[in-house]
Amino acid sequence: MKPVIREVIVVEGKCDTTAIHRACVAETIETGGSALHEGTLARIRFAQMRRGVIVCTDPDCAGERLRRKIDRAVPGCLHAFVQRKDAALDGTRIGIEYATPEAIVHALSRVYKAQNNEEQCGSDVTMETMWELGLMGTARAAHMREIVGIRLHIGQANAKTFLHRCQQFGIMAVDIKNALEYQMEERVHA
């Protein structure tokens, strides 16, 4: 039986809507790609007021840009992140439409609410923290961010976007350390 999602899910296109419907019972709003028209924003605002919104864009640069535009225009949205590895077809094409129903349900079951500028996000993660934990400035930094992003359900991102997500979602340095320790324990027991 498919899970029922109360909130309206914002996706980029029709193929994404089809993938969402394969995974769960939900309503979607399609942005029509990375362009965000005022009419679409009005629909997203209305959905946010009535039922809440989950933004579930492609795990690529265009999807991230769109996510930021929506977040600025419609405060209080929830965010779901399908992992890049789960949304890739043949290693070349990336999009929600390529994700399995299980990967989509997994992402939708672990959403984050972005903090607006007036709210205190409570994150203690800084650039210095990222350097100290090896999440930037090393040959393995991208891999380490990917591990933490998967474990914390915030997706894969470059260092600047990763830091922004940590601050936006109130993720603490201890959360990152725990995710890294968990990965090390899994390696030892494998």
Q: How confident is the model at residue 120 (pLDDT cuts 50, 70, 90)?
A: very low
Which domains does the chain carry? 1-114 (3.40.1360.10), 118-185 (no CATH)
Compute the average pLDDT of residues 86-93. Answer: 84
DSSP summary character for residue 59: S
What strand order describes the sheet that includes 53-55?
A: 28-30, 8-11, 53-55, 78-79, 112-113
- Contact (Cβ atoms closer than 8 angstroms) between residue 109 and residue 141: no
B/e letters for 94-118, b = 16+ CB within 10 Å, e = fewer, are: bbbbbbeeebbbbbbeebbbbbeee
Q: Any idea what the Cα angle at residue 57 is, between residues 146 and 109, rounded to 5°?
A: 70
168: exposed, middle or buried (C-beta count within 10 Å: 0-12, 13-18, 19+)? buried
Give residue-wise pLDDT tens across range 124-150.
899 999 999 999 999 999 999 998 998
Q: How confident is the model at residue 118 (pLDDT cuts 50, 70, 90)?
A: very low
Give residue-wise pLDDT tens across range 28-52.
999 998 778 999 999 999 999 999 9
